[in-house]
């Protein structure tokens, strides 16, 4: 049988890991899917390029910000080389491209399962107030700013310390207005406008990973408590939880926004209050935890994207709380050849 | 009380709250009191159990139970 070729981005399994390796592992573990994983990388040194037990072949892409035409053409080249039928973008910066070109890609035989541009916009960090009200969560005092003067006024109103967050990535704690300004300029330089200033609330970091079916329902969801995080704020150890308020909010989000594709709900929970931090429009880097407890979200998503039947026997209907997630580091020693091929040819060279 | 009931507790006194992901370590006295609460016993009945099991005075057992209930409130488990 011809394997199903799936392209997965975000294979940068570094200290701030992309979600791709967890997604790829999940697909490999779906016993009803015979997959061949194509890693879509932006740098020859992304570790996933060399993880050949997870990624069958890897190709370099230009950044989407370098121009949609070049990105589209490169995807088509990879499709022609590999027979790729599905692409799972896992990085925030890829989303605008895939949302905009979803129909054209589908017409060219590349299936995706991503939200519409409107759904994506409505969950943006600059719309948190409305989002929190819609899904029934509390929101720390939040202001969206587009100038240094607005930032200073927002800090005055909210009070120090504050979180200063980029439109796409990064969040910094600022203890002084000067510190907030430094973070503001840094975020604008890297990610553009707007910048979000948010009150710091105390509590546990609880998150949910889920996939919406695009019709108001869920293909599955799993909650986690971050027990140990790195200096970059990335989960290193976590445990599955069933926090009713967060699971309810996830369902409310799907129902209200008809979300199609993966998402991560981030909250700070203090007692009975669940504060919305943000909703990310993609799989989180820890999404393999869901697969590990029997909720294989990437596999469910691929089946839905291609209209494939449910597996036999079916997936477990739900998951157990109290399952531990532990990340670890590992090293690979390999020949320079693959690196050279990535640099010179833009591909690892494992496609016949 | 619903959070107390949902705690997963093993025989060694490790308790896990599936709602929040919090975990706790209980000493034998705490484990006895917690199990009493989960059986809907009142504080006096639990203190009587503590006094009998650990061979302490009724007053001391009552103080232990009161202290432990305060601790549970601190962790918002009561």
Mean pLDDT of A226-241: 93
pLDDT tens track for A33-86 = 999 999 999 999 999 999 999 999 999 999 998 899 999 999 999 999 999 999
B16 contact A CB<8A: yes
Q: Does residue A59 form part of some domain?
A: yes
| Region of B76 on the Ramachandran plot (φ > 0 left; ψ -120 to 50 alpha; else beta) | left
Q: Does residue A133 form part of some domain?
A: no
Q: Does residue A120 form part of some domain?
A: no
B20 contact A CB<8A: yes
Q: Does residue A228 form part of some domain?
A: yes
Residues A224 and A322 in one domain: yes
Q: Does residue A124 form part of some domain?
A: no
Residues A81 and A107 in one domain: yes
pLDDT tens track for B17-76 = 999 999 999 999 999 999 999 999 999 999 999 999 999 999 999 999 999 999 999 988
Q: How confident is the model at residue A21 (pLDDT cuts 50, 70, 90)?
A: very high
Residues A157 and A213 in one domain: no
Residues A14 and A109 in one domain: yes
Q: What is the CATH number of the domain that holds B68?
A: 1.10.10
Partners of residue A224 in chain B, C-beta under 8 Å? 21
Tell me which H or E stretch contains A23.
helix A20-29
Q: How confident is the model at residue A126 (pLDDT cuts 50, 70, 90)?
A: confident
Buried b (16+ CB within 10 A) or exposed e, A282-305: bbbbbbbbbbbbebbbbbbbbbbb
Residues A97 and A151 in one domain: no
Q: Does residue A273 form part of some domain?
A: yes
Q: Does residue A134 form part of some domain?
A: no
Q: Give me the number of domains chain B comprises.
A: 1
Residues A180 and A78 in one domain: no
CB contact under 8 A, B21 and A244: no
Q: What is the CATH number of the domain that holds A65?
A: 3.40.50.20
- What is the chain B residue with the closest CA to A320? B18
pLDDT: is A336 or A313 the higher one? A336
Average pLDDT over chain A reads 95
> B47 lies in which domain range?
2-74
B10 contact A CB<8A: no
- Looking at this predicted complex, what is its ipTM? 0.82
CB contact under 8 A, B18 and A206: no
Mean pLDDT of A168-177: 89
pLDDT confidence of residue A254? 97
Task: State both tokens at A238.
Answer: 């976590």
Q: Give me the number of domains chain A comprises.
A: 3
> A187 lies in which domain range?
143-194
Q: Does residue A126 form part of some domain?
A: no
DSSP-assigned beta bridge partners for residue A273: A270
CB contact under 8 A, B19 and A224: no
B24 contact A CB<8A: no
Q: What is the CATH number of the domain that holds A179?
A: 3.30.1490
**A303 CB-near residues (< 8 Å, 6+ apart):** A33, A309, A310, A311
pLDDT: is B4 or A59 the higher one? A59
CB contact under 8 A, A271 and B19: no
B58 contact A CB<8A: no
């Amino acid at each position: 049988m011809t394997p199903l070729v799936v392209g997965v981005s975000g294979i940068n399994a570094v200290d701030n890991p992309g979600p791709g390796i967890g997604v790829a592992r999940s697909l490999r573990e779906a016993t009803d899917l015979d997959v061949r994983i194509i890693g879509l990388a932006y740098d020859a040194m992304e570790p996933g390029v060399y993880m050949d037990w997870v990624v069958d072949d890897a190709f370099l892409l230009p950044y989407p910000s370098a121009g949609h035409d070049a990105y589209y053409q490169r995807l088509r080249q990879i499709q022609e080389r590999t027979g790729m039928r599905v692409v799972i973008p896992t990085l925030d910066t890829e989303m605008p491209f895939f949302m905009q070109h979803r129909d054209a890609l589908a017409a060219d035989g590349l299936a995706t399962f991503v939200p519409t541009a409107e759904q994506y916009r409505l969950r943006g960090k600059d719309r948190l107030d409305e989002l929190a009200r819609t899904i029934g969560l509390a929101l720390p005092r939040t202001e969206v700013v587009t100038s240094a003067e607005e930032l200073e006024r927002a800090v005055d109103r909210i009070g120090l310390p504050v979180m200063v967050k980029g439109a796409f990535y990064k969040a910094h704690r600022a203890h002084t207005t000067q510190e907030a300004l430094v973070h503001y300029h840094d975020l604008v330089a890297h990610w553009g406008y707007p910048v979000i200033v948010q009150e710091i609330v105390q509590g546990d970091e609880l998150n949910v990973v889920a996939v919406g079916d695009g019709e108001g329902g869920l293909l599955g969801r799993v909650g986690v408590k971050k027990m140990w995080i790195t200096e970059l704020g990335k989960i290193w150890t976590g445990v599955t939880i069933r926090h009713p308020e967060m699971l309810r909010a996830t369902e409310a989000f799907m129902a209200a926004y008809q979300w199609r594709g993966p998402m991560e709900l981030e909250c700070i929970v203090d007692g009975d209050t669940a504060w919305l931090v943000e909703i990310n429009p993609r799989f989180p880097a820890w999404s393999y935890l869901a697969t590990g407890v029997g909720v294989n979200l990437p596999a469910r998503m691929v089946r839905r994207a291609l209209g494939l039947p449910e597996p036999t026997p079916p997936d477990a209907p739900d998951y157990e709380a109290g399952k531990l997630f532990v990340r670890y580091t590992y090293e690979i020693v390999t020949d320079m050849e693959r690196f050279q091929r990535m640099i010179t040819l833009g591909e690892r060279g494992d496609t016949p | 009380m619903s959070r107390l009931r949902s705690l997963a507790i093993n025989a060694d006194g490790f308790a896990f709250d599936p709602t929040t992901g919090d975990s706790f370590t209980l000493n034998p006295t705490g484990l006895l009191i917690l199990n009493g609460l989960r059986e809907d016993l009142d504080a006096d009945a639990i203190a009587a159990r503590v006094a009998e099991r650990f061979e302490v005075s009724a007053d001391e057992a009552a103080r232990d139970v009161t202290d432990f209930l305060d601790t549970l409130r601190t962790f918002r488990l009561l």
